[in-house]
A and B are shown apart, each in its own frame.
Chain A
């Protein structure tokens, strides 16, 4: 399968803790994005990291990318109940118009 793999599949943490989810892929990428989906609704873009970048921050989000290991991680710091959602990594390759989604991590933040 071309799909990226994410782990863990599900994660449950207490409010205020950090949440880390990982994404691995098999082919070279142009960039990698993370999206959030609340309970069967449409996806919302969170952050994009390019293949020549190693780390990127946006508010409480920190994304890292290791192209040698073909993996990325998303860290959400000081999590809130409102962060409860599914998180997907999405990759694209240069020269194509296709997007490959990971299988997602279901995050539950307990108040």
Chain B
């Protein structure tokens, strides 16, 4: 089944404790992206990757890092999480030549 998976689905952590949210897709998509969703603000793009080893900032990259060492994986790293990063996070991917994105199920992160 074609899908985007994220892990973990739920995470409660404390300020300053480094964490990684994994994202993996099995559709051989070139493009992958991370979004955060906050009430009343819709989804905002954090980082995206056009292909392996090619990443760029979205609209809200502060406090986040990403890497794209393999085509299928695009982890989101919070080196020193803060409470304002409490949010619902989505990973998405799409193939080249299309703008239709496939979304993962989301990761609900709470930073205390």
Contacts and interface: CB of A to CB of B under 8 A. Distances in A.
Given A40-B106, A102-B42, A97 B50 contact: yes
Contact of A41 (B4, B48, B106): B106
Chain B interface category by residue count: 20 to 34
Contact of B42 (A30, A31, A45, A104): A104
Contacts, number: 58
Contacts of A48: 99-100
A59 interface: no
A33 B100 contact: yes
Interface string B39-56: 011111100101000001
A21 B22 CA distance: 34
A99 B99 CA distance: 9
Q: Determine chain A's interface SS by DSSP, over half rule.
A: strand
Chain A interface category by residue count: 20 to 34
Interface of B: 4, 31, 33, 35, 40-45, 48, 50, 56, 58-59, 88, 90, 92, 99-106, 108
22 contacts: A3-B42, A33-B99, A35-B103, A40-B88, A41-B105, A41-B106, A42-B90, A43-B43, A43-B90, A43-B103, A44-B103, A45-B100, A45-B101, A48-B100, A88-B43, A97-B56, A98-B58, A98-B59, A101-B43, A101-B44, A103-B41, A104-B42
